[in-house]
Structure formats: structure tokens, C-alpha cells
């Protein structure tokens, strides 16, 4: 079996990881947030199909 050796993270990666940890404590929370954001965006888009005022959000 090969042993997998992880490369040391750069200081920027380490700082980003620590910053994210402060806001997102676990993988489960990150997945839940992703699902909620996806559902909210989908619902907003579907609502914009019904309402011309909301459709302006998607026109750039």
C-alpha cells in the first residue's frame, strides 16, 4: 500500500481554512447551507417566472 503524504498548506490556505472554520463549523453545516442557498435561488427564479417585477433580478 502506498502512503498518502499531504503537502503542507500555504499560509494563505491555512488562513482561509481557519476563517471558514469560524463561520462553518462542520461539513454538515456547509452542505446544509449549500442546499438552502440552492433551494432559495431556485424558488426565487421560479417566482420570477410568475412575476415580471422579480424577473428584473435576472436581467443584466
pLDDT digits (tens, 9 = 90+) for 26-58: 888 888 989 999 999 999 888 878 887 767 766
Q: What is the pLDDT of residue 42?
A: 92
Q: Is residue 57 part of a domain?
A: yes
pLDDT tens figures, 9-31 = 678 777 777 777 777 778 888 88
Q: Is residue 18 part of a domain?
A: no
Q: Look at residues 11, 30, 12, 8 and name the one whose alpha carbon lies nearest to residue 21.
A: 30
Q: Is residue 17 part of a domain?
A: no
Count of structural domains, the chain = 1
Q: Is residue 44 part of a domain?
A: yes
Q: Is residue 16 part of a domain?
A: no
Q: Is residue 13 part of a domain?
A: no
Which residue segment(s) compose the domain that 34 sits in? Answer: 27-60
* CB burial of residue 29 (10 Å; 0-12, 13-18, 19+): exposed
Higher pLDDT, 36 or 6: 36
Amino acid at each position: 500500500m502506498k502512503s498518502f503524504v499531504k503537502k503542507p498548506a500555504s499560509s494563505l490556505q491555512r488562513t482561509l481554512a481557519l476563517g471558514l472554520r469560524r463561520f462553518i463549523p462542520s461539513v454538515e453545516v456547509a452542505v446544509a447551507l449549500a442546499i438552502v442557498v440552492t433551494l432559495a435561488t431556485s424558488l426565487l427564479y421560479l417566482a420570477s417566472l410568475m412575476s415580471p417585477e422579480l424577473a428584473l433580478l435576472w436581467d443584466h
